[in-house]
Amino acid sequence: MRRPARRLPAALLGLAMLAGCATTSAPPQPAVPVPDVWREPAAAARTEVPLDWWRAFGSEELAALIVEALAGSPDLAVASERVRQAEAQVRVAGASLFPTLDLGLTALRRDTRAEEGPAVNVETTNATLSASYEVDLWGRLASGVRAAEASLAASRYDLETARLTLVAGVATAYFDLLSLRNRLALARENVATAERVLALVEARVRNGAASPLDLVRQRAATATQRAAIPPLELQERQTLSALAILVGRPPAAFAVQSDSVDRLALPEVGPGLPAELLVRRPDLAAAEAQLLAANADLAAARAALLPSLTLTGSAGLASGALLAFGNAATITTVAAALAQPIFDAGRRRAQVDAAAARERELVETYRAAILAALADVENALAATGRNAQAEALQREVRTQAAEALRLAEIRYRAGADDLLVVLDAQRTLFQAQDQLAQARRARLQTAVSTYRALGGGWALPAEAPRVGAR
């Protein structure tokens, strides 16, 4: 008659394995057709993006600013603290897999006095060591640990995303600052050019070779060039302050020595294959980890619908004396409790539905992140080639405009043309110079965007869990 009792643990184990399989399932994979090649051809051959990719621009000052930003950025410090919070949550979830032990000590003195008869005094002292352990029959606790571990991985990937965003932000702000300084230098040169022409007009007016109207027009053109300087100076100061904040320093004590983008190198980046992008961007890895965490939460919610088995035990001493254990009695208890939810007004079922909807939401979030990542690379590649063409064309425009102004000044000095020709040539040259400086900045920004779109040299760890892997 004892054989069925001996088979009971094996039967429970088999039932738990079947129920565990029923509560867990692989997360759905986002339906995103990843192309075999990029639409935009890359100028560079396939190359690995280094982790210190910013050094490819050839600026030691930029490299020093980025090192300082990585050490002192408040945003990066916030992301690091979120990782520590997630690590603590993993320890909290992991503790649920182990028994809990509690030590209790109780001392009681009770005096009972009746209207008649002697007083009754009762003194007791109890010391108890109790243990409780929930048997994880259906994998609910293990699913909680998996969810916490996936959330920890997501927070670590978010930290890498924040680091990449910070580095790209510092590089972009640095290039913006140098470009504004370039444009300021050009604006001051344009003022000098306008003043040179103004001196020529004044001389012609004094000699009666030009009308006072020409003098007024050139004075207006010179004033227009002077008026272009203060807005650029304001932008330069604001960009310097923004860069100081990214680095983690107060703007008042921050300075950048470089003043031109012309000495910076323009690296060529090979994008690799589109499929490689899925393991090279930390934001995609974070979206995938969040999906894995949601899948584990769904498994835990399903397991909560099934019975729970809790084992408890205690051992202690009981004495009839206060704060003493003379002639103490030993008390030992062992219990097992099996509980099955029967009615909770649909709360657990609603939790399952909410967890399932959360998983479906994160599938779409992951799919959107993949599509956005592919678009980032395509846009960066498209901008790389076209911005290079735009800079080359703008350089030719600047060369021809400079020659046109030179010839216009000669003809105006000789009386062959009026001042309107000179004014038009000045305006064309000034615009061409400013647009050339902005075209150079656009190429640098595109290089930063390409590095960022490719993940900045980051790679998913080989041991990281993946959607679809079992």
Structural domains of the chain in order of their starting residue, each with its CATH number: 34-108+121-453 (1.20.1600.10)
Query: What is the torsional sign of CA 196, 201, 205, 207?
Result: positive
Q: How far apart are the first and last CA of the chain?
A: 42
**361, amino acid identity:** E
Max CA distance (Å), the chain: 137
Residue numbers of the chain with a pLDDT score lower than 70: 1-22, 43-47, 114-117, 119-120, 322-326, 468-470
How confident is the model at residue 392, as a pLDDT? 96
How confident is the model at residue 298, as a pLDDT? 94
- Cα separation, 312 vs 304, in Å, equals 20
**339, amino acid identity:** A
How confident is the model at residue 117, as a pLDDT? 67
| Residue 130 contacts residue 104 (beta carbons within 8 Å) | yes
**How many whole angstroms from its chain centre is CA 373?**
13
- Cα separation, 123 vs 77, in Å, equals 57
Q: 3-class DSSP state for residue 21? A: helix
| Residue 404 contacts residue 412 (beta carbons within 8 Å) | no
Strand partners, 229: none
Dihedral pair phi/psi, residue 24, rounded to 5°: -105, 150
Query: What is the torsional sign of CA 259, 265, 266, 270?
Result: negative
How confident is the model at residue 236, as a pLDDT? 96
Sheet of strand 329-339: strand arrangement: 100-112, 120-135, 308-319, 329-339
| Residue 243 contacts residue 174 (beta carbons within 8 Å) | yes
DSSP strand E in 270-396: where? 308-319, 329-339
- Cα separation, 182 vs 176, in Å, equals 10
Cβ neighbours for 10, distance < 8 A, ≥ 6 positions apart: none
**29, amino acid identity:** Q
Dihedral pair phi/psi, residue 335, rounded to 5°: -145, 150
Q: 3-class DSSP state for residue 110? A: strand
Q: From 77, 35, 166, 33, select the one nearest 452 (Cα to Cα).
A: 166
- Cα separation, 460 vs 280, in Å, equals 6
Nearest-10 crossing angle of helices 140-206, 347-414 = 20
How confident is the model at residue 43, as a pLDDT? 61
Dihedral pair phi/psi, residue 271, rounded to 5°: -80, -15
* Element of type H or E holding 156: helix 140-206
- Cα separation, 260 vs 263, in Å, equals 7
Q: 3-class DSSP state for residue 210? A: coil
How confident is the model at residue 5, as a pLDDT? 44
Q: From 437, 448, 444, select the one nearest 179 (Cα to Cα).
A: 437
Q: What is the pLDDT of residues 403-440, one digit of tens each?
A: 999 999 999 988 888 889 999 999 999 999 999 999 99
| Residue 73 contacts residue 246 (beta carbons within 8 Å) | yes
How confident is the model at residue 300, as a pLDDT? 92
Using a 10 angstrom Cβ sphere, with 0-12 exposed, 13-18 middle and 19 or more buried, the burial of residue 87 is middle
Q: What is the pLDDT of residues 180-194, one digit of tens each?
A: 999 999 999 999 999
- Cα separation, 22 vs 416, in Å, equals 93
| Residue 411 contacts residue 230 (beta carbons within 8 Å) | no
- Cα separation, 368 vs 291, in Å, equals 13
- Cα separation, 86 vs 153, in Å, equals 9
Q: From 158, 124, 140, select the one nearest 327 (Cα to Cα).
A: 124
